[in-house]
Amino acid sequence: MNKFITIDMLNIYSIAVVVTVTLTEFFKDIADHVIYKLFKRELPTKYFVFFIALLIIFIPIIHDKKLSFESFFTGIINAVFLTLASMKSYETVIERAEDKKKQKKIIADNEKQGQEEESIME
């Protein structure tokens, strides 16, 4: 189980997106609470996601001791892409879950209405 996620796996884009979304969701409430206590302001989600994405991008670079101007510059650009992809994938998952919930409610309402109509006809 110690090989569930490795540092080398963070170089895979899809894994980086999943890890970014997961860590953001896990730590967002804590970060909001701390920022609000310190600055009496809310932390915009996109900035927190970007911070997590920077960590995800730079941990493998630092681990492999390959930090250079080029890797620093491209790492920031990659973190922007990772931020946008993570935020959009989260939005898509939430939208689909809400759509399914609405569909189930419509089906349940239609079944209830059908049962009511049947009882009236009897």
Angle, CA 100 vertex, CA 107 and CA 45 arms, to 5°: 150
Measure the CA–CA gap between 90 and 18, rounded to whole angstroms. 9
Length of the chain in terms of residues written: 122
Domain count, the chain: 1
61 is a domain residue: yes
Q: Is residue 107 part of a domain?
A: no
Contact 53, 79 (CB under 8 A): yes
- Alpha carbons 9 and 4: distance in angstroms, whole number: 10
Low-confidence ranges of the chain (pLDDT < 50): none
Q: For residue 38, give its domain range.
A: 8-91
For residues 46 and 87, the answer to whether their CB atoms sit within 8 Å is yes
pLDDT of amino acid 80: 97
- Say if 35 falls within a structural domain: yes
Give residue 115's pLDDT. 72
Q: Is residue 30 part of a domain?
A: yes
DSSP 9: G
Q: What is the pTM of this model?
A: 0.78
